A = this chain, B = another copy of it.
């Protein structure tokens, strides 16, 4: 599996993804699940992917090829007039890839992949989309300001409880690391290193990008600190009494 989160705050967008892929437990590899397309001072787009690695790589390759060959008649990620059209392009590409894989007779579910796409194009608001394996998609709103894909359940409770649209990038990264740490501790199919990226609204360039591995001092602080902070929080509640 995989764990990726795209999150919208007032200040912009924050993305985090793990890098573990596995086919069974004895075929484990590290692959980047976060891709960016940028056009200086005009647009930034970030794509997170979960699901069948062949499908997600094919989708990204097709999107990339189109981006590199602007003479093609299909629009590329760098030319879509809006984020909505970019989400449609990703959705159509997923459908195309899955359709090509399906006829060999295997279950189409096995080729499934989900994506989170976020970004901003000059003159428009930052937007965040979740694209389903079927190629259709939904957009984040005020009530649902983040999307998770992959192994989403372990890390959801803290996101639900601590998210606040007024958070700073620094706090949001802390929140995501706590959510990822809970998932890493509970599920073998999600693994370090993590990729982190944030985009500041109206900046039209990537704000900050980092790969966080086992030795990252801040990650260690959060991982160890959260265990003891949780225990303290737990102790602060009154015990049950009959």
Binding site for B on A (CB under 8 A): 153-154, 156-158, 160-162, 168-171, 173-175, 177-178, 182, 185-187, 208, 218, 221-222, 225-227, 229-234, 236-242
Total copies of the chain: 2
- A162: shortest Cβ distance to chain B, in Å? 5
CA distance A182 to B226 in the complex (A): 17
Chain B residue at smallest Cβ distance from A176: B240
Q: Is B234 a contact of A158 with CB atoms below 8 Å?
A: yes
Report if A168-B233 is in contact (Cβ < 8 Å); known contacts: A157-B185, A186-B160.
no
* Consensus secondary structure, chain A interface: helix
- A184: shortest Cβ distance to chain B, in Å? 10
CA distance A200 to B229 in the complex (A): 30
What residues of chain B lie closer than 8 Å to A157, measured between beta carbons?
154, 157, 182, 185-186
Q: Is A156 a contact of B156 with CB atoms below 8 Å?
A: no
Report if A241-B158 is in contact (Cβ < 8 Å); known contacts: A153-B186, A178-B234, A186-B153.
no
